[in-house]
């Protein structure tokens, strides 16, 4: 018993290396895919990933969203969205108007041109993603979906437990 506790001493203060390796692998996968998508978007459509992401959010809601909504959905800061929207309005992709009921609120929508351009990009984008995940069987995909859902819940719980607000 004494011997046993000695041999295991190195990993005694709890063994958390597996979770760390998992996190690094998750990060590597995402970085890899994100970089690939970013390259293709630039090369094929000369658009940045953040702009594409913002347009993707808006495409789902024809009646438009507030900046706060976008900010929450994209999980980025308010100030970030302000700047992104500014440039997309400038380039004619977005339409922006102040809410009638609350003059603090800015409602943004895709313009007709913006929507058309986004749909064109989104169609190709979907094929890229399919190609990137080509080696995964439908069962792999289902299983990953399940495990990532569990991961998300776990992470959210951990964040909430800490205090959540800085």
Partner DNA sequence: CCAGATTTCTTTAAGTTTCAAGCAATTGGC
Partner DNA sequence: GCCAATTGCTTGAAACTTAAAGAAATCTGG
Residues that bind DNA (CB under 7 A): 35, 38-39, 42, 48-51, 66-69, 71, 75-85, 87, 101-107, 166
Minimum distance of DNA from residue 97's CB (angstroms): 10
The entry of a copy of itself, DNA, none near residue 116 (CB within 5 to 8 angstroms by kind) is: none
Q: Measuring CA to CA, how many Å separate 120 from each of 16, 94, 115, 136? A: 45, 16, 9, 26
Q: Measuring CA to CA, how many Å separate 39 from each of 49, 128, 130? A: 9, 11, 16
Task: Compare residues 53 and 95 and give the one whose CB is closer to a copy of itself.
Answer: 53
In the set 8, 25, 119, 120, which binds a copy of itself (CB under 8 A)? 25
Maximum C-alpha span of the chain: 75
In the chain, which ranges are continuous DSSP H helix?
2-7, 17-45, 49-59, 67-74, 78-90, 112-132, 138-162
In the set 6, 8, 39, 113, which binds a copy of itself (CB under 8 A)? 39
Task: Compare residues 46 and 135 and give the one whose CB is closer to DNA.
Answer: 46
The entry of DNA, a copy of itself, none near residue 30 (CB within 5 to 8 angstroms by kind) is: a copy of itself
Dihedral sign from CA coordinates of 41, 45, 47, 53: negative
The entry of DNA, a copy of itself, none near residue 80 (CB within 5 to 8 angstroms by kind) is: DNA
Beta-carbon contacts of 4 under 8 Å, excluding residues fewer than 6 positions away, are none
Task: Compare residues 62 and 138 and give the one whose CB is closer to DNA.
Answer: 62
Binding site for a copy of itself (CB under 8 A): 14, 16-23, 25-36, 39-40, 43, 75, 126-136, 138, 140-141, 143-145, 147-159, 161-162, 166
């Amino acid at each position: 018993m004494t011997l046993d506790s000695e041999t295991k001493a190195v990993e005694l203060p709890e063994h958390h290396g597996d979770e760390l390796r998992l996190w690094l692998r998750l990060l590597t996968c995402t970085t890899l895919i994100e970089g690939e998508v970013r390259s293709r978007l630039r090369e094929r459509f000369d658009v940045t990933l953040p702009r594409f992401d913002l347009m993707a959010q808006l495409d789902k809601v024809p009646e438009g969203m507030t900046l706060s909504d976008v900010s929450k959905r994209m999980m980025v800061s308010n100030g970030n969205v302000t700047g992104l929207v500014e440039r997309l309005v400038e380039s004619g992709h977005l339409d922006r108007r102040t809410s009638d009921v609350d003059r603090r609120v800015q409602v943004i929508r895709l313009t007709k041109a913006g929507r058309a351009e986004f749909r064109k990009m989104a169609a190709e984008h979907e094929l890229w993603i399919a190609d990137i995940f080509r080696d995964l069987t439908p069962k792999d995909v289902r299983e990953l979906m399940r495990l990532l859902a569990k991961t998300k819940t776990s992470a959210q719980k951990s964040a909430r437990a800490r205090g959540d607000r800085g």
